[in-house]
A and B are shown apart, each in its own frame.
Chain A
């Protein structure tokens, strides 16, 4: 059985999320680096994998998949029998995993990515950080994290007392927020979010991802 092929970039958050899932589920994979700086993701050979020209894209036998949240769900389902269960053990638990997974995708990701983009990527391309965008994104993210703080005061992880895909979708973005954007206080000022971040970032699966991310 050929290993799963991940076409991605070491600095891409969505790629890191897929890699984290592969490590958690103990699935062998082959990493194919896509050179974003040279526009490889807009070339026909990559567009044949993901017509939206975004990393990552994954090949598993005949199946080609893109969208990191769909990819990790597929992997968690296909490899249900190995590694920790990331989906939830009842239909109701699975629904709560879906709910918080959507919260990440619909409420957390946008303001967080805007902060990362302005502080990390814009200067790298020779531009100037738009502080107004950073400020309004921080305000939005604060509101989201207030809800997380309340939720995590009642359960150890987002969907309940078990680590799931919903939690796994977060570390890469928090990692950059804390370590590359100087916004650690957004996490550290919140007792339960802090404890949750400590926990999910000490998982061996996550530590392996950070090794990949090092330049």
Chain B
């Protein structure tokens, strides 16, 4: 049975899920959601995801939303196949969880503002908020200073092994580096940049980006 992923392939949180599926060798089918037409606010979609956000997956009887919950479930369920993404011990798993929370609580909010302003505002016909852009870049910079220190001591965020914690950073970093003028935030930090080069050249990530429209 093929897992159905409801979401547009250009959505960052959908890409997080797709990256995990490709790493784990899980078969899936993308069911596009036309967000520009507001499909995510229609009753049929809200029946799957009541907050009207993408992505949401359907796998047999299971309907699941929140990308970080989806990737944890599949990394656990398919622990025995594909790339190991959760570490090997309880302690390693705890560090994966910690850095996944850091991504969700410290990296994501500032990244979100930057991308909404710099990539999507003009597409949606909204004026850009320069003050918000500057503040978000400053705050993201401070977060990345901590990452720089961490990555000077270990190859990946949770330790010397690639995990969900690194994977969840890919979609926003890809846009920040390649679709905005704020790429320096990553490029000018030696260890963050080396980490970015490493994780973005993984075949699974390249495959996900090739699916993007």
**Which residues of A approach B to under 8 Å, CB–CB?**
51-52, 63, 65-67, 69-71, 73-74, 77-78, 91-92, 94-96, 98-99, 101-103, 105-107, 110, 144, 147, 150-151
Chain B interfacial residues counted at CB < 8 A:
32
> Is B50 a contact partner of A105 (Cβ separation < 8 A)?
no
> Is B149 a contact partner of A51 (Cβ separation < 8 A)?
yes
> Is A98 a contact partner of B66 (Cβ separation < 8 A)?
yes
> Is A150 a contact partner of B66 (Cβ separation < 8 A)?
no
- B91 contacts the other chain (Cβ, under 8 Å)? yes
Q: How far is the CA of A106 from the CA of B100 in the complex (A)?
A: 13
Closest to A75 in B: B94
Cross-interface CB contact of B102 among A67, A78, A99, A147, cutoff 8 Å: A67
Closest to B95 in A: A65
* Dominant secondary structure at the A interface: helix
Contacts of A106 in B (CB 8 A): 66, 104
Contacts of A73 in B (CB 8 A): 94, 97
> Is B72 a contact partner of A70 (Cβ separation < 8 A)?
no
Contact with A along B160-186 (1 / 0, CB 8 A): 000000000000000000000000000
* Dominant secondary structure at the B interface: helix
Closest to B68 in A: A102
> Whole-angstrom distance from the CB of B30 to the nearest CB of chain A?
20
> Is A69 a contact partner of B50 (Cβ separation < 8 A)?
no
Closest to B94 in A: A74
Q: List 5 A-B contacts (CB under 8 A).
A: A74-B93, A74-B97, A95-B72, A98-B72, A144-B51
> Is A102 a contact partner of B66 (Cβ separation < 8 A)?
yes
**Which residues of B approach A to under 8 Å, CB–CB?**
50-51, 61-62, 64-66, 68-70, 72-73, 76-77, 90-91, 93-95, 97-98, 100-102, 104-106, 109, 143, 146, 149-150
Contacts of A70 in B (CB 8 A): 94, 97-98, 100-101
Q: How far is the CA of A71 from the CA of B91 in the complex (A)?
A: 11
- Contacts A91-B76, A95-B73 hold; do A67 and B101 have CB atoms under 8 A apart? yes
> Is B98 a contact partner of A65 (Cβ separation < 8 A)?
yes
- Contacts A51-B146, A73-B97, A94-B76 hold; do A102 and B90 have CB atoms under 8 A apart? no
Q: Which of B64, B90, B95, B101 has the most CB of A within 10 A?
A: B101
Cross-interface CB contact of A96 among B64, B68, B109, B143, cutoff 8 Å: B64
> Is B94 a contact partner of A101 (Cβ separation < 8 A)?
no
Closest to B108 in A: A106
> Whole-angstrom distance from the CB of A88 to the nearest CB of chain B?
11
Closest to A72 in B: B97
Closest 8 A/B residue pairs (Cβ): A67-B101, A102-B66, A98-B69, A70-B97, A95-B73, A74-B94, A70-B98, A99-B69
Contacts of B65 in A (CB 8 A): 99
Contacts of B90 in A (CB 8 A): 74, 77-78
- Contacts A65-B98, A95-B69, A101-B69 hold; do A52 and B106 have CB atoms under 8 A apart? yes
What would 9 more interface pairs be, CB under 8 Å, given A63-B94, A70-B98, A95-B69? A67-B102, A70-B94, A70-B100, A74-B90, A91-B76, A95-B70, A99-B64, A99-B65, A150-B50
